[in-house]
A and B are shown apart, each in its own frame.
Chain A
Amino acid sequence: MTGEPRKVVVVGASAGAVQALLTILPALPARFALPVLVVVHIPPDRDNMLVPLLQSKCRITVKEAEDKEPIEDGVVYFAPSDYHMLVETNQSLALSTDEAVNFSRPSIDVLFESAADAFGAEVVGVILTGANHDGAAGLRKIHAAGGMAIVQDRAEAYATAMPDAALRACPAARTMTIDAITTYLTSLGAA
């Protein structure tokens, strides 16, 4: 174990992800004090264009995760397409080519469950818009480990299946609009 336990934000999104992330991430200040780990479902064989797009719009650093990379505060890490992204207890990232989970690689459940294992109550899990149920089991695990579970308000979600599934699996999760999520994360990461 290195250093003090610290908070980490994990985010999962699928259909409609780009618009949602383009609202949340550019609003985070340059000196945002937490790491943000993101899984977005993107078809394999497609280069991840989302990272360059967000890099150009965000004040905090946005990058694609590398295997065994130490997790740094104030950096947004995206899972590369066709790889799962996991969190190790020594606060580094690990990639895997294990088979798809919920037909997805990367899978939100894989990230969320490993984050709950490694960071326990210090995890803030956010499920955004999406048209499948990936992330529901992971969000439940984050909540069970004492972490904070947040689900995007279905009323404004581009696709509601993912927020609905997350709420069914984790009824104690807080429902928030994108604006409320942005405000919450900003205050959480105020350096």
Chain B
Amino acid sequence: MSDTTEDIEIELLLEALFQRYHYDFRNYARASIKRRLAQALTQLGFTTLSALQDRVLHDPKMLPRLLDFLTVQVSEMFRDPSYFKALREKVLPHLSTYPSLRVWIAGCSTGEEVYSLAILFKEEGLYDRTIFYATDINPDALAAAEAGVYAVDRVRKFTENHQRSGGKSSLSDHYTAAYGRAVFDSSLRNRVVFSDHSLVTDAVFAEMHLISCRNVMIYFDRPLQDRAIGLFRESLARKGFLGLGSKESLRFSTHAPAFADFVPEDKIYQRREP
């Protein structure tokens, strides 16, 4: 099928975002980008993507508004409780043999997974020897992650997930609720480095013992997924762990041989000896 006008406009807009602002969505899975741009058009009040492109090129204030449509993910704390249970029961016992630990939450969005891991590491007595790197490309999402404030009506689900993950504390020990918002304790982020980092254009920045990157790479096309997995491969210490989303896998990646299945049902992999 030949490209429609809309396909051409998407191509041009993504190219413009890259050249003007170095945000690179050109190798994101196109079907989802198309949906998100359609939403952005309606909600930002433009009739064509060309008009939106004109505005975003000339008005940097439009960029964060557009980024919110292109990047922000709504997640939950302890989403897929069995993943956190597997980390708790199978991965953390290995990590506890190290004197110091580095954990990377890649594509942390608004921080739900960061606080989940911080609580998990606290409960298992590893928090104080760990540095967490929470990275994302969206500055507004990073700011929200750093603030750690969530609508209180979401916390019920968070609590249920936390319990199902084998939580040893009560989630309410970790936040104070006021005015319809749950404010998570600053002691959960005093060892977290929030930082701008792109899996698409940036490089390795530290050696990690655990990398959690869930439901981020499903938005990438296969070559881009492979680049990100290559970054994880280079970043991981010998026998370090990689956790992916429940429907993601390394099956289609050229880097697959560098990893062994560790908890296959929860998509946790272990870096093989190099």
Binding site for B on A (CB under 8 A): 1, 5, 65-68, 80, 83, 86-89, 94-99, 110, 113-114, 117-118, 120
Contact = CB atoms under 8 A, between A and B. Distances in A.
Contacts, number: 60
B218 A117 contact: no
A87 B31 contact: yes
A45 B6 CA distance: 36
A130 B74 CA distance: 27
A65 B248 CA distance: 11
Contact of B222 (A5, A65, A68): A68
Contacts of A99: 74
Nearest to B251: A66
Interface size range on B against A? 20 to 34
Secondary structure class of chain A's binding surface, majority of residues: loop
A88 B219 contact: no
B36 A98 contact: yes
B31 A118 contact: yes
A98 B68 CA distance: 12
B26 to A, nearest CB: 15
Contact of A97 (B36, B218, B251): B218
A97 B1 contact: no
A67 B218 contact: yes
B31 A117 contact: yes
A47 to B, nearest CB: 11
Nearest to A88: B31
- Which 3 A-B pairs rank lowest in CB-CB distance, beginning with the nearest? A86-B31, A114-B31, A94-B29
